Amino acid sequence: MNWRGLLFSVLILCLPISSAFAQHCDSATQRTVLIGALTKDGQPVDNLRAEDLTISENKSQLNVVTLENRRDQPLAIAILIDTSVSQEASLPGTKLAARAFIEKILRNDKDRAALLSFTSEVIVEQDFTNDHAKLLSALDRVKIVTPPGYYRGLVIGRPPRPPQKIPGATAIWDSVWSAVDSFKDNADARRAIVVLTDGDDTNSQRKMRDAVAHAAAANIAIFSIGIAGTYTLDRSHLRDLSDDTGGLAFFPKKVPELDSVFEQITNSLKSRYVLSYCSLASSPARKPLKLEISLKNPALVQLSYPRYIL
């Protein structure tokens, strides 16, 4: 079975049902999903309506009950930067683009961002704050971590074998898990992780499906930016990481393209909606359900949302 078929209710946020809403839903289960909406040229959509959408679980058509725009809700963004040796050449450009993103994404005193770097372990360079100066200072501290025996692009000698943590190796899934945990004091915000990496996990103790499950359970969308490093670029894993949590994946060919990528992420975060509907399945369902949300006029808007529920 595909690992995504094992996902459970972590890909859905189930909220308490008021008596009025329960009557509207009859005996079905209310479910609530966060979705993003952008125009085809990457601009935020502010006027999406419930009647513009169709929704289905396992091909069974359902009704959209409510659609609420969350553009006025505060943002909480964790920027997670891969500092393994495979990113050595691209890190300076990544930091320049991240600087511009930090300066743009924090709109007011209620918006917050955190900066984390990772190899085999996560370093919280700066916890959540709305202070631009603190975030930019933390970004300046981010540097490549080299493994034992590293010299001019080569590792001399035999590195420790997993499950031992290897300095300078890459533990993406463990790091995403830790980044999710860093949001514990940001329950009131629209939450997202922006991870910059080549997607080549070499040292995680957890599986990718565990990281996805943990993020989705906390209602955190993951935006993946695939930065081709010294070795491989794993597009498939990064795309799944984002698709299954309601985020977006990007694969810029050159570092200067990061400015455009961060602009699209900013726009997506500005256009977040909460969609409520009545599921026909009990909660949790005995088998995974495939969620499909589409527009009646798909030429105008592109949607992002979690793909599987239970």
Parse the chain into domains and list their residue ranges.
Answer: 3-71+272-309, 75-270
Residue 181's pLDDT is 93
| Percentage helix, strand, coil for the chain under 3-state DSSP, each rounded to 5 | 30, 30, 40
Residue 271's pLDDT is 87
- DSSP string for residues in 234-282: -HHHHHHHHHTTT--EE--SSGGGHHHHHHHHHHHHHSEEEEEEEESS-
- Please state, in angstroms and rounded to a whole number, the distance separating the CA atoms of residues 229 and 89: 7
- Please state, in angstroms and rounded to a whole number, the distance separating the CA atoms of residues 250 and 199: 12
Which helix (DSSP H) or strand (DSSP E) does residue 179 occupy?
helix 172-181
- Nearest of 211, 208, 175, 191 to residue 274 by alpha carbon: 191
pLDDT tens for the chain, 310 residues: list them.
444 443 433 333 333 333 333 336 654 578 888 899 988 888 888 889 999 999 998 899 998 889 999 888 899 999 999 998 888 888 888 898 899 899 888 888 889 999 999 988 899 999 999 999 999 999 999 998 876 655 555 555 455 455 556 666 788 999 999 999 999 877 778 899 999 998 888 889 899 988 988 888 788 999 999 987 666 788 999 999 999 889 999 999 887 888 889 988 988 888 889 898 888 876 666 676 788 999 887 777 889 988 877 6
CB neighbours of residue 191 within 10 Å: 24
- Please state, in angstroms and rounded to a whole number, the distance separating the CA atoms of residues 274 and 160: 46
Fold of 75-270: Rossmann fold (3.40.50)
Q: How many residues does the chain have?
A: 310
**CATH for 3-71+272-309, options being 3.30.2450, 1.10.3470, 2.60.40, 2.30.30:** 2.60.40
Residue 251's pLDDT is 92
- Nearest of 172, 235, 190, 245 to residue 7 by alpha carbon: 245
CA distances 258 to 61, 114, 226, Å, are 38, 19, 10
Residue 278's pLDDT is 87
Residue 169's pLDDT is 74
Residue 114's pLDDT is 96
Task: Compute the radius of gyration of the chain from its Cα atoms.
Answer: 20
Residue 279's pLDDT is 86
- Please state, in angstroms and rounded to a whole number, the distance separating the CA atoms of residues 282 and 285: 5
Residue 128's pLDDT is 95
Is residue 190 a contact partner of residue 272, using CB atoms and an 8 Å limit? Answer: yes
Which helix (DSSP H) or strand (DSSP E) does residue 105 occupy?
helix 91-105
- Nearest of 182, 212, 184 to residue 9 by alpha carbon: 212
- Please state, in angstroms and rounded to a whole number, the distance separating the CA atoms of residues 41 and 77: 23
